Chain A
């Protein structure tokens, strides 16, 4: 690594930490209905949405009807994206005349974008029309992110309110997150990205004659508008197959820096928002610190793995699956950030990373996407770990565990465990199933432990709603489209429903006043305990699987063995 590499990494984290309280504070004002500077500009749009849909801002619902609204809304989104892909050949804005997508691929993609996973079984530039990309996928980019924020807000209200069953209004949360947070940031980012060279047009694909006289067809399309939200909303589904490694999607180091910052921006700032809304900014920063430590630790291991290179190909460090303009450090920093946050966009091919860097990516996903994690989803995932941590701490000292003044009882712990174990179940069982079935093995692009890693990564990515891949795996098959689609659904709703149940149960409790015996959740002892719980409960489940994949690959690679 050069000094320049270090400066870039430092600058990145410096900005991230600096923006967190500013954006976090603004979001708190938006979500609690206080006055803020965007109201005079966009307030009319919020009102228009309420009057068109018939939503009354004052109506609040209990956890069950909040969940119901969310599920129905998501199902409509899924159906629309599914149908749009099937019938795209009869619809306008399809200059490349793509045929309808197969039903299982359409199912996979519709689930993928609805659940904020944005796993791409298809290649955008050779599969989907501009109409599908815009009105299907871009919309889900927004509303799936807003759905994540809404769930977090419901949980926050459950914690901060007392003796009520009201958790807020899903439609209001959805509208405000979209109109005041996601949309303005996306507009800004999209315009700046085009300034760097990202394309945004409705032209047909351009056929050109290269300098050497052969033909090259250059794809076009409204890319920037989708790329901006796919980065900000921790979605990650690229306009093109190569995602943010594609020069039209990420043309310069500056566009790369902004897109990378956009990955972590909102999830990081939400820790501040959460702290403020739940009545303890200090607790918000505590969660931020725990996440930050895990992120830096992962980054360190990944950089070490990448810069120690590979004896097999005899070149240190190697540029396979990386772009010249980004180099090694920016590729590794992105890979770490995109898997820590459940973004899943890539600017280098994760499959060709060194085994250690690939393993860090997998662990980031397997820890439940809680190291900053997805927009909203990361933080409610982290709160699940917090509940387990205060429960374990309570057992150790023999007191009823409390969290921010709320008693943690059997119901909360049960729900927390369901939320923790549902994704684990998908990852381990589905990978096991794929690795003994012909349909699973026939999709592999690499042999040996790396082939196993392809499957393990795929199901981790689906269950964690990440969306990145060891992309050599040919996943656009009936088997993978269905299993990964189901995995994404379990990974999404198997967490959302228990989290909302916890929110409902906590809202009904009284607030226990803080006393000298209360276990503190805002100091360094708590950070250590929390990280311990995350690594032991979240990580240890996967140790045997990781040993069969990246761990053994690392050892074999260093002995010069190939497959």
Chain B
């Protein structure tokens, strides 16, 4: 195969110099191109441990390395949540603006039972499916819009922060704020964390465009995008877990509130522990940059 490829590419070069028939050159070009892809870019053998190692090591490491972005993401979302909370306290009709005209549902007296009913009415597997797909979509969009120099990501974070703060404000105004948080927190602890990290990944892409450093903007985008993508891929299992809790635990009529909160808290604890500690115990791979520098130094 390889010797055939060598001969074919040598022939191609010769045909070019000889200005042979254009069709022949094009055809040989096509063939050599295919062979080139096969020889130089053969797919690396897929490791069985690839995904496990990715989730266990690469993903938490990348998240830790990029903590300032996640902090920024958290602050942006929180800022808008607090603003919305305060505004809705003053003017309950504002929630209608957030929800697009569904004020009859959200304005006026509410009881704790109302909140629960909204969840209880729903068909559980459907709720799980809907919530999970929707959350993953929001995360993917927040990430993708990072390429608008981060502006789109900030917008998504602001919208989601405003929604949460607005609802919390509206329910608090009706005097059932505690009920609201008890209902939301079992799945929310995990779900909101994951959304914040997805926003952080989007901000990372935006930052790589604003401040490319020593690289060209394009090169910087590629690097930032790759790192941010690792975070997004790692978050997908977390969204599915959050969806499971929101679909089956939160609306469950059989479980008491403390048990629901305990399950949600446990899930969030696992998520955070993994992020903070995952991949630390193994011997750290040598940083490629320093490694390269060392080689250069020894060569000099």
Specify whether A and B are partners: no
Q: Which residues in B have some Cβ–Cβ distance to A below 8 Å?
A: none
